């Protein structure tokens, strides 16, 4: 019974905790922010109709989002993803190596507020950098794209679209994050003399807490929110991420960032809209022609990418052709 109760608490964590952005707390904050946007733009319809349009929330695509959320969360709770989350082990190895004989050991000291702030920011920045490159690799590597295409095949965007992810994509991203963030944590352990402490709210890093609180759920939604030309060089706005989901050619391979737009700006993948754009979501070929929904069911979303990835890998073993694009033509 204790094990059942533990599993039940773990399964309910996304709803009641602070770790995932579609918890009730963050969803409530999103509704409040959306209400302010609705007031600012003028009340052309009732708030609920504007917030929860039936054509979006009753769309078949959103049903697949919900099924993938349940499937992925069940796998997470069962511990399947555990072996690819090993940042603490790498941190320990790095810290041990740096504290090898000859380097000296000044002894543990209580971290200062500056130490805590540095550690909090460093972990978020390192994680975001990893997510940028993991995201970009899934777009620009032909045998990884089929797994990420599950996410991009969403024809409507709702907060649950965040969970429309193939488990293999999660594995690859977690591997990259674990290695790099583990190295960063190991350096922090050495530089901060054997102890890392970060600022948290409800167990969540305070910077992620603020990110989720201040509109992260609008990234996967029909509600346009731009931060403006200057700020969108630093932070990815909901509007910029919606553009990332667009089938239009000019939007392909743009705005890979999660929190920070700095990576896109630095590596030439930044797109900043001049004004609100009319977007169509889904997957398209290199010419921008929309492709018929490739993942209409949970079964198709989970199984089809393996066959497509194997096919793409076999192609990659042949003499090289045109480089991969966001929506590779088949």
Whether 198 maps to a domain, the answer reads yes
Strand 204-205 versus strand 200-201 pairing type: antiparallel
Q: Which candidate, 131, 134, 122, 128, places its Cα nearest to that of 186?
A: 122
Tokens of 122: 């460093």
User: Residue 233 in contact with residue 266, Cβ under 8 Å?
Assistant: no
**Is position 221 within any domain?**
yes
> What's the length of the chain?
330
114 assigned to some structural domain = yes
Please report which helix (H) or strand (E) contains residue 150, including its range: helix 145-152
pLDDT band (50, 70, 90) for residue 265: very high
Beta-bridge mates of residue 282: none
Contact 145, 315 (CB under 8 A): no
For range 47-54, the mean pLDDT? 96
In a domain, 306, yes or no: yes
Nearest 5 degrees, angle CA 138-CA 292-CA 271? 45
Total of domains in the chain: 1
Does 44 map to a domain?
no
Domain that holds residue 265: 54-316
- Answer whether residue 122 is part of any domain: yes
Using one digit for the tens of pLDDT, what is the confidence trace for 121-170?
999 999 999 999 999 999 999 999 999 999 999 999 999 999 999 999 99
Helix orientation angle between 145-152 and 167-191, rounded to the nearest 10 degrees? 100
Query: CB within 8 A of 202, min separation 6: which ones?
Result: 17, 18, 209
The answer on pLDDT for 290 being more than 50 is yes
The answer to whether position 35 is within a domain reads no
Instruction: Kindly report, residue by residue over 190-238, the tens digit of the pLDDT.
Output: 887 566 778 888 778 999 999 999 999 999 999 999 999 999 999 999 9
Which single residue is written with the structure tokens 């995201």? 135
- Residue 11: pLDDT over 70: no
Kindly state whether residue 31 falls inside one of the protein's structural domains: no
Q: How many CA atoms lie within 13 A of 118 on its CB side?
A: 14
Residue 106 has pLDDT above 80, yes or no: no
| 211 closest CA partner among 258, 244, 159, 167 | 258
Nearest-Å Rg of the Cα atoms of the chain is: 21
**pLDDT of 287 higher than 60:** yes
Considering the chain, what is the average pLDDT of its residues? Answer: 87
How far apart are the C-alpha atoms of 138 and 130, rounded to whole Å?
12
Q: Which residue has the higher pLDDT, 197 or 40?
A: 40
Give the pLDDT confidence score for residue 4 in this predicted structure. 53
* pLDDT higher than threshold 80 for residue 15: no
């Amino acid at each position: 019974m204790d094990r059942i109760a533990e599993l039940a608490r773990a399964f309910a964590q996304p709803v009641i905790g602070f770790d995932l952005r579609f918890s009730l707390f963050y969803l409530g904050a999103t509704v409040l922010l959306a209400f302010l946007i609705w007031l600012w733009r003028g009340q052309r319809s009732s708030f609920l109709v504007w917030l929860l349009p039936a054509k979006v929330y009753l769309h078949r695509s959103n049903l697949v989002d919900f099924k993938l959320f349940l499937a992925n969360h069940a796998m997470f709770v069962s511990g399947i993803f555990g072996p690819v989350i090993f940042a603490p082990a790498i941190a320990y190895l790095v810290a041990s190596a740096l504290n090898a004989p000859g380097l000296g050991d000044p002894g543990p000291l209580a971290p200062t507020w500056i130490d805590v702030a540095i550690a909090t920011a460093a972990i978020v920045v390192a994680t975001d950098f990893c997510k940028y490159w993991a995201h970009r690799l899934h777009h620009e590597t032909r045998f990884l794209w089929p797994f990420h295409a599950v996410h991009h095949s969403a024809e409507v965007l709702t907060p649950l679209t965040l969970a429309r992810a193939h488990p293999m994509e999660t594995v690859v991203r977690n591997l990259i994050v674990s290695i790099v963030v583990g190295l960063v944590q190991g350096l922090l352990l050495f530089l901060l003399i054997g102890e890392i402490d970060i600022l948290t709210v409800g167990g969540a890093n305070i910077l992620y807490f603020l990110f989720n609180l201040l509109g992260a759920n609008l990234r996967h939604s029909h509600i346009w929110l731009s931060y403006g030309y200057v700020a969108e060089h630093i932070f990815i706005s909901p509007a910029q991420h919606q553009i990332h989901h667009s089938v239009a050619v000019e939007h392909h391979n743009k705005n890979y960032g999660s929190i920070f737009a700095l990576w896109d700006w630095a590596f030439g993948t930044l797109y900043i809209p001049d004004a609100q754009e009319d977007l169509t979501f889904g997957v398209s070929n290199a010419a921008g022609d929309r492709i018929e929904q490739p993942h209409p069911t949970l079964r198709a979303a989970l199984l089809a990418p393996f066959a497509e990835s194997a096919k793409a890998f076999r192609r990659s073993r042949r003499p090289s052709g045109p480089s991969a694009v966001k929506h590779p033509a088949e």
